[in-house]
Amino acid sequence: KPGEQKHPKEPSSLQCMHLAVVACGDRLEETLIMLKSAVLFSSRRLCFHIFAEDSLKPEFEKKLKEWPSSYTKKFESNIYPITFSVGNAQEWKKLFKPCAAQRLFLPVILKDVDSLLYVDTDVLFLRPIDDIWHLLRQFNSTQLAAMAPEHELPKIGWYSRFARHPYYGSTGLNSGVMLMNLTRIRSTQFKNSLIPGGLTWEEMLYPLYQKYKNYITWGDQDLLNIIFYFNPECLFVFPCQWNYRPDHCMYGSNCKGAEQEGVSILHGNRGVYHDDKQPTFRALYEVIRDFPFEDNLFQSLYYPLQSKFLDTVHTLCGRIPQVFLKQIEKTMKKVYENRVIVYLGANHRY
């Protein structure tokens, strides 16, 4: 009507927390356990963006449909083929791990998504995604992505000792958990070592790879380090408890944030969910994997975890169980309280 004010539609990223993952090869189970941990604890609606090889697509669809409706109503999922928009697709596909470079193309592919959390398949959420999603509000006007350092201590860091290319800060970045404002990424001109002016994200990827391909070891993670070395003002650095890896405890505890607050996001890189090197990480993975969806969280998740941890005290990571349990305990109390309130609300009408 004339004179009536139109309210802009709420961006989809406010209605939905977008989570992206890339799954190739034998990563089906790991990816499903990661998605399960996301759904178990989060309170707001989730939108999953799963990039998978064609052979895995029907498997993902089948498994996700098997989840109980009380959980399937908390998310929607989209499954995409693996695609690379610039350069040689085969080269990108073989970079470091199969398909890992796909994450570099998310701003280009997911054109309608404003903000996104990307995680590796070997990640587990020990608290609601809502909490890391809130970090987007802490970005200043130039920041467009958030990652955690690769190491806390330069003297044992990989980049500080071995890297033959530029990297961010004193220890480099780990890209296994990456929060992105895609709208900003798409509209930014990035400084680079290729031309004096700026380049868009998509223009920069392939030439940058060509320039440094003989010097990079960790594939797309190294490319992200190079990009943020030249554009440090674009990065928000979040603390180690948001991307907690075996390196944070296997030589002794070196993640202060996790000691104080507990682990928020567990990243079981080096294959530790599937071997006996870090039984603490494996225990968490197996307990979430085996948790029957609609059981009591304390009875069927927390208590089995505590007893499994007793078998890990011979390792340095196993000697600090409170670091692994603090957030998960807090989260479960919150989930339990919310359910009780909802239940009481439904049964008591005053």
User: Mean pLDDT in runs of 10 for the chain (350 residues)?
Assistant: 38 75 94 97 95 95 96 96 85 76 94 97 97 97 96 74 78 94 97 90 92 84 94 97 96 94 96 95 97 91 94 95 95 81 56
Query: What confidence score (pLDDT) does residue 8 get?
Result: 35
Query: What confidence score (pLDDT) does residue 347 get?
Result: 55
In whole angstroms, give the CA distance from residue 228 to residue 190: 9
Query: What confidence score (pLDDT) does residue 14 get?
Result: 52
In whole angstroms, give the CA distance from residue 119 to residue 21: 6
Report CA dihedral (10, 49, 121, 239) to the nearest 10 degrees. Answer: -20
* Tokens standing for residue 211: 């320039």
Query: What confidence score (pLDDT) does residue 219 get?
Result: 77
Task: Name, in order, each residue with C-beta under 8 angstroms of 36's C-beta and a sequence gap of 6 or more.
Answer: 67, 288, 289, 291
Structural domains in the chain plus CATH codes? 17-238 (3.90.550.10), 241-345 (no CATH)
> What is the widest separation between alpha-carbon atoms in the chain?
74
Query: What confidence score (pLDDT) does residue 185 get?
Result: 98
Q: Give per-residue pLDDT as tens, 170-207.
A: 889 999 999 999 999 999 999 998 888 899 999 999 99
Query: What confidence score (pLDDT) does residue 343 get?
Result: 58
Task: Name, in order, each residue with C-beta under 8 angstroms of 61's C-beta and a sequence gap of 6 or more.
Answer: 79
